Amino acid sequence: MKNQPAQLPVELLCFNAEKVYDWVLLQESVTENVSADDIGVLPIDPCDPAVSNLSINCYLVDPLTGNQLPPNAEIVIDEDPDDREDRDFVIDGTQVTLQQVNFEKTLSLVVEFSGFDGTTPFLEISDPIEINVSESVFLCAPEGTSIVVRVSDVICNASVNCDNGELESVDVSLDVCQSVQSVANVTLELEAGFCQPRDLLVTEECPTPVIPPQCPIVFPGITNNQSPSVRSTDE
């Protein structure tokens, strides 16, 4: 029987944590006409008459890595805390002072083109395209708090504008749902116990490899030079 670790006593502990002062969800719709120059050099022009079954997709990417943004990715914003303005509201009969927070975020997206060039399938991606979006929201965001913006959902649509068989521009429509929080680092005092490591899981030893049974009468056969007589058991 294994020895169970002794349970440590409960103590008063302090933790560093991030406190959320306020939290709202915002939806932003953006339309942008992106010129062919900003799309970048494409090996195959999506407006070429030889292109068929053209499919266009667009999505947000990390401006540093170029990888598609994962769910709930944090977006870098530009916000000056000194520009926040207090405004009084009456909520459920109680007067509350909130702060008007103005910030600007830069979204980076790419447009993906796929289809057939004649009979050859192709897939090509544009250069990253920057879209600047300004936001204004009332939050409980007192002095000492910072604003954290995360993208919770994105719907992106794009269509091409052609001129004489050449790409002129791309119209991008972007719907972004975002989580906006005002936060600050705090130290919490909680009554808790320390954790201890668990026992290692029992590991089973690998079994000895099983050797398939042989047919010694057939191979390697009898030791003399006589050929074995063979008959069917169905006879």
230 pLDDT higher than 80: no
* Whether the Cβ atoms of residue 177 and residue 151 lie closer than 8 Å to each other: yes
pLDDT in tens, 91-114: 888 899 999 999 999 999 999 999
Q: How is the chain split into domains, by residue range? A: 14-187
pLDDT digits (tens, 9 = 90+) for 12-67: 888 999 999 999 999 989 999 999 999 999 999 999 999 999 999 999 999 889 89
Locate 20 and state its tokens. Answer: 């959320």
Residue 38, SS3 per DSSP:
helix
Radius of gyration of the chain measured on its C-alpha atoms: 33
Residue 204 is predicted with a pLDDT of 58
121 bridge partner residues: 116
Q: Which of 27, 25, 26 is nearest to 175 (CA)?
A: 27
Is 141 in contact with 184 (CB distance < 8 Å)? no
* Cβ–Cβ under 8 Å, residues 219 and 213: no
Q: 118 pLDDT exceeds 60?
A: yes
Output the six-digit token pair for 166. Answer: 């050449």
Global pTM value: 0.72
pLDDT in the model for residue 213: 76
| Residues 162, 168 contacting (CB under 8 angstroms) | yes
- Sort 176 into a burial class: Cβ within 10 Å, 0-12 / 13-18 / 19+: buried
Strand order in the sheet with 146-163: 10-35, 166-193, 146-163, 73-75
Residue pair 126/111 in contact by the 8 Å Cβ criterion:
yes
Q: What is the reported pLDDT for 218?
A: 63
